Structure 1
Amino acid sequence: MTVIDANRMHEIETRYPEYFHRSFRQRFGGLMILIATLLYSLYAVWFFDLPKLFTEAHWERVGIYLSQWVSYDVQPEFRIEDDGSIDIRYPRFSPLGDNPHPDWLVNNPDGSITVSISGTSRSVTVSKSETIVTAHGVSVPVDVSSGAPKVVGPVPGWMTVYDDNVLADLGFAGNVSISVDRVKIRKRFIGWANFIFDTQSSFFDKPVGEVVSLIVSGPRIKPDQSNLSLAFDDIWNNSEWQHGDVWTKLFQTIVMAFLGTLLGSLTAFPLAFLAARNITPNRLLNQILKRFFDFLRSVDMLIWALFLTRAFGPGPLAGSGAIFLAETGTLGKLYSEGLENIDNKPREGIKSTGAQTVLVHRYGIMPQIVPVFVSQTLYQWESNVRGATIIGAVGAGGIGLKLWEAMRTNANWENVAYMVILILIVVFIFDTASNALRHRLMGTKAH
């Protein structure tokens, strides 16, 4: 066991004062950060009233919206006429077309109609005097022969009785609304209805094999147009999914992001040389340009889009202009900081040979900054593809506006899902391509 005397101990303390004479910040800094984080979290919970927010939120709507992203419904209505007959009606623009004859609807010999909601476990039988709803292992008759619908027997938990109608909730499969003179059924299906051909198409409701046969070798449906051209027109001009308009708007979004980023980089590049202190030794000009960059990027791209849509009207021009202004500020700051951090030795060496300023910049600066500048520009371009979608929602054109219009109806969530998936695919492609280019320029391997 080694014994350290007082002199040796004093010598060690003198040599390593950071371990023996630590400041208050060093001793309690970590604890203070932890306490500050905890206090801020408690403040945020109080300020945003998170308990009330979570208790009053409509969490059930999340499941409804998600189900509507991947499904569609058919809504037949059964009207009980005065003579006891049942008239079947479908909404206008029904996914089944103008003359539907679904196999899940059966006309019984006694004049009643049975609708299979989900196989045999959930069904509805409509007659002139009563409607029988079968679900969850029980059949519940609803008498409609009197002035108001009346449930015969005990009312199950999945059925709600109102003054003039009875609502049966059958879960994801759909629901049934029963009144005295009509029964409305909502039957839900997994998938996207009429995604390829709409109800007005000549190929609507035909099997895949028959469609392929018609396109490849079948007789012309329209004498003046080939079946292949007709099929493409029907897909492109699908009235329900609007593929042509969606893809056109998506291309507009990509062009907006590319054009705005390109113009912003071309404008920021020369300005950055004037803003860099080590390139242009003019303090006043440096500060003016740097504050100009701060101003352009401090105003969010969305705000620029709002200004420009008021000036030029809605459309991709306003979107491209908003990206251009925001990117001029962002790239100008990045470029100027990159120039201020270059190694001055190559530049000074070329300058000592008596070369002109242009040649000094070309051979002393450009080789150092080009990979970094291109990498930063590619990243901003990739980011602006996402940003262009958001600013489109305020009228700046592109797919963002179409996405917002679909969301506002609160009924076309499958169209919203379609456009969101397209946006994700485009962002993924641009992200992958941008990463590959950046790593190649920087001489590193992509992971």
Structure 2
Amino acid sequence: MPLQIRSAAHFQRKRLMSFAAPAMILVYFIYIFVSFDIGGLAERANLDNARTLVSDAYSYKTHVTRDNRDGSVDVSIEGERKGRYAEGTGPAWVALGTDTLIDLGDDHVVTFGETQVTYDVPGYGMIVTEPGRSGVNAVFPAGELPDWINASKNRVTISTDAGRLTVTRNRSEVFRYSMGWELFFFTLDSPYHGMEFGRLVGHAFNGEAGAIWSEFWANKMWRHGDVAWALFETVLMAFLGTFGAAMVALPLGFLAAKNFTPLGGLRFAARRVFDFLRGVDGLIWTIVLSRAFGPGPLTGSLAILLTDTGSFGKMFSEALENVDSKQIEGITSTGAKPLQRYRFGVIPQITPVLLSQVLYYLESNTRSATIIGAITGGGIGLLLTQAINTQKDWEEVTYYIVLIILMVMMMDTFSGWLRRKLIKGDEGGH
């Protein structure tokens, strides 16, 4: 009878736990839903901005700008001086003259007149604006203004699928989206801009390969040379920080290992140092060190080194405590000195663990160096942060993100290959 009672009580506890665990998880998710206001996310989200950012990732804008004070017209890619067309020139869809006609496609036509700016919108009608000292006087077709028109006394903005027109007292600006990353290879002032691939190859074989490469590498819009150096800085930060931490942590690991350091106080101190170093996040070390060493790759490398020294010290000390003492005794029997015992009896046993962990952290730190570089002012992370902060050239943001992904993939492949070569001795990759 007592056995049956105990069995029934045990069954009741198990049934209670089977219901209690899902109930606690459900309560936790309800708390998250309420605390983070998940329900209000749809109201806060701006889908128009999201669509704009996505379109900016794979397209570019050509700006046609008129100074309403003197009537001068300027045409440039992304509105930048580095992408400006020469005076009096522009793309085929911009007809410069006394009246500048801008064909946005699908019968959308904007005209910069002497005093007026007009936009002929198919299916809606002609919009006439006249900027002046009193503001922007605008005349719209009869009826209520649609959502894609935003009009006030000093500004009129018309956004359609073909492009956008903004008119203020001092400036009128049209921009049109086009597919691709314009000026990615050569800028407008390059003699190779717009040249067909076949002709470009012909020039390369005729002794102009160096000039072509120089024009591409020194591209003022995309700065390929600066980007390549930033990628190198990022990899360098990860490499110096990771392997520097491994070299510092290995001798300290012997101090924290029970079978190599009999003094409990020394072991305790070494382990608390490891806890402190890895307990402070790498980003915090970055901020602290930047005050001491200033911004730059050195600060990022030191931040990674400090954090990884704590992690490696803990892992290496645990690996040292699990070494086979028989191999050490065999080396000792030959009359080997302490350093020789460590070199031939201990290091070969922990080398697979050491290399595996170091190479794994190298992969991880390549990604971390991107964020650290954004704080310390070095590497591809800085360029990415600058491009995001401008909120203008999102195709550059996409370019940097693609390069970061490729960099991480290459480091992962390199690390895996090196791990096989050093640990398994697998030259064939099988």
Q: Give the TM-score normalised by structure 2.
A: 0.85
Aligned to 2:86: 98
Matched, 1:158 2:131: no
- For 1:146-295, what aligned pairs fall within 5 Å after superposition? 148-154=137-143, 155-171=145-161, 173-178=162-167, 183-217=172-206, 227-295=208-276
Superposed displacement of residue 281, structure 1 = 2.1
Decide whether the 8 Å contact of 1:264 with 1:324 is kept in 2. Answer: yes
Distance in 2 (CA, whole Å) between partners of 1:396 and 1:286 is 38
Aligned to 2:10: 22
Aligned to 2:73: 88
AA in 2 matched with 1:168: I
Aligned to 2:405: 424
Distance in 2 (CA, whole Å) between partners of 1:113 and 1:194 is 24
Distance in 2 (CA, whole Å) between partners of 1:277 and 1:207 is 70
CA gap 1:177/1:432 in 2 versus in 1, 3 angstroms: same
AA in 2 matched with 1:141: M
Decide whether the 8 Å contact of 1:78 with 1:88 is kept in 2. Answer: yes
AA in 1 matched with 2:106: T
Q: Which moved more, 1:333-342 or 1:379-388?
A: 333-342
Return the match for 2:125 from 140, 153, 162. Answer: 140
AA in 2 matched with 1:177: T
Decide whether the 8 Å contact of 1:149 with 1:180 is kept in 2. Answer: no
Aligned to 1:374: 355
Matched, 1:63 2:51: yes
Residues 263-292 of structure 1: per-residue CA shift (max 9 Å, x gap): 100111111122111232221111111110
Matched, 1:37 2:25: yes
AA in 2 matched with 1:75: H
Aligned to 1:222: none
Decide whether the 8 Å contact of 1:256 with 1:320 is kept in 2. Answer: yes
Matched, 1:123 2:112: no
Structure possessing the higher radius of gyration over alpha carbons: 1
- For 1:337-352, what aligned pairs fall within 5 Å after superposition? 337-348=318-329, 350-351=331-332
CA gap 1:377/1:92 in 2 versus in 1, 3 angstroms: closer
Residues 54-85 of structure 1: per-residue CA shift (max 9 Å, x gap): 42233432222222122111111346789xxx
- Work out the number of aligned pairs and report it: 419
Superposed displacement of residue 122, structure 1 = 3.4
Q: Which moved more, 1:69-78 or 1:265-274?
A: 69-78
Residues 16-38 of structure 1: per-residue CA shift (max 9 Å, x gap): x8x76637764433432222222
Superposed displacement of residue 331, structure 1 = 0.8
Decide whether the 8 Å contact of 1:403 with 1:416 is kept in 2. Answer: yes
Distance in 2 (CA, whole Å) between partners of 1:403 and 1:92 is 18
**Any unmatched runs of 5+ in structure 2?**
none
Distance in 2 (CA, whole Å) between partners of 1:351 and 1:279 is 14
Matched, 1:306 2:287: yes
AA in 1 matched with 2:366: V
Q: Which moved more, 1:186-195 or 1:144-153?
A: 144-153
CA gap 1:283/1:213 in 2 versus in 1, 3 angstroms: same
**Any unmatched runs of 5+ in structure 1?**
1-5, 218-225
Q: Which moved more, 1:192-201 or 1:350-359?
A: 350-359
Distance in 2 (CA, whole Å) between partners of 1:169 and 1:444 is 62
Distance in 1 (CA, whole Å) between partners of 2:214 and 2:334 is 66
Matched, 1:414 2:404: no
Decide whether the 8 Å contact of 1:312 with 1:318 is kept in 2. Answer: yes
Residues 180-226 of structure 1: per-residue CA shift (max 9 Å, x gap): 88642111111112111123323233333333333322xxxxxxxx6
Aligned to 2:302: 321
Which secondary structure does the structure 2 equivalent of 1:244 belong to?
helix
Superposed displacement of residue 251, structure 1 = 0.3
Distance in 1 (CA, whole Å) between partners of 2:354 and 2:250 is 9
Distance in 2 (CA, whole Å) between partners of 1:437 and 1:92 is 45
Q: Which moved more, 1:427-436 or 1:254-263?
A: 427-436
AA in 2 matched with 1:418: Y
Q: Give the TM-score normalised by structure 1.
A: 0.82
Which secondary structure does the structure 2 equivalent of 1:138 belong to?
coil
Aligned to 1:333: 314
Q: CA RMSD in A?
A: 3.3
CA gap 1:180/1:21 in 2 versus in 1, 3 angstroms: closer
